[in-house]
Amino acid sequence: MEEDRRHWWFRGRLAVLLAVLRRALPPRRVRLLELGCGTGNVLGALGGLGEAVGMEAHPELVAAARAAGLDVRPGRLPDDLPVPDGWAEVVLLLDVLEHLDDDAAGLATARRALAPGGLLVVTVPAYRWLWSGHDVALGHRRRYTARALARRVRAEGFAVERVSYFNTLLFPAVAAVRAWKRLLGDRAHDLARPAEPLNRALARVFALERHLVPRLALPFGSSLLLLARR
C-alpha cells in the first residue's frame, strides 16, 4: 500500500526517526540505505544526512520515488541488495520485517550491506495482542515485543545498542481502536487520513516523542525502534 506522507502516523514516525538519527550519527555525511522504502517518504528526508539509496519491490512505488528525484532501485528482500556488500554506514528497515516470511533472512541481507561498525535501524509494530484487521490488510506476518525483536537481531550477529517502544502518547487511543475493530470484525487498515484538524493534532502529539525516544527507552507503545551495530 502506498503511504500517505501527510498522514499523522507517517509524519510522527519521521520526526522521531530523524531525531534518533541525528543523535546517533557522526557530524558528517554518511551513506544510508533504506530497504523497502516505498515511495520515499523517509528517503527524501535522509538526503540531508548523506547519500541515501532506497530499494523497493513494487514497480509502481519505485516509479513514484524516482519521479520525485530519489535514488530508488528495484529489489526484494531477502534476495536482492542494490549496493555492494559493506557499502552502507546506516541500513534502515522501517516497518519491513513484519512483512517478511523469513525476518532472519531479511536481517542477514541488511548485515551484508553494512560496513563493519555500521548502524542498523529497525522499526516494527509492537505486541501480538494488538493484532487486528489492520495487520491483515497490510500483509503483516507478526508483531514483536522488545525482547523478541532484540533476540532476533542478535541472532543475526548484530550488537543491539538500544530498544524503545514509541507511539506511546497515543497508545491508549490506538489500543482502543484496535480492540473495537476486533469486536466489529473490521478488517480495514487504520491509515485512511482523518480530517485535517484531527490529523494535524495527532501528528503534533506523536512528534513530541522526538524529544523522548532519542534519550529514553519508553516502556510501551504501538511500535518499536531498535538500534544495533554490525
* Residue 123, Cβ density class (10 Å: 0-12 exposed, 13-18 middle, ≥19 buried): buried
Q: What is the C-alpha separation between 171 and 131, in angstroms, rounded?
A: 14
- Domains in the chain, CATH or no CATH each: 8-229 (3.40.50.150)
What parts of the chain have a pLDDT lower than 50? Answer: 1
Q: What is the C-alpha separation between 158 and 173, in angstroms, rounded?
A: 34
Handedness of CA 195, 201, 207, 209 (dihedral sign): negative
Bridge partners (DSSP) of residue 226 are 122, 163
Bridge partners (DSSP) of residue 92 are 34, 121
Instruction: Give the model's pLDDT for residue 144.
Output: 99
Instruction: Give the model's pLDDT for residue 92.
Output: 99
Per-position DSSP letters for 34-101, written without gaps between them: EES-TTSTTHHHHTTTEEEEEEES-HHHHHHHHHTT--EEE--TTT--SS-TT-EEEEEEES-GGG-S
Q: Locate cell 523478541: which residue?
A: 148
Instruction: Give the model's pLDDT for residue 2.
Output: 52
Q: What is the C-alpha separation between 43 and 142, in angstroms, rounded?
A: 25
Side-by-side strand order, sheet with 159-166:
72-74, 50-56, 30-35, 88-94, 114-125, 223-229, 159-166
Q: What is the C-alpha separation between 89 and 116, in angstroms, rounded?
A: 8
Bridge partners (DSSP) of residue 220 are none
Could you tell me which of 8, 67, 76, 77 has the C-alpha nearest to residue 40? 67
To which H or E segment does residue 105 belong? Answer: helix 103-113
Q: What is the C-alpha separation between 178 and 181, in angstroms, rounded?
A: 5
b or e along 130-142 (b: 16 or more beta carbons within 10 Å of the residue's beta carbon)? bebbbbeeeebee
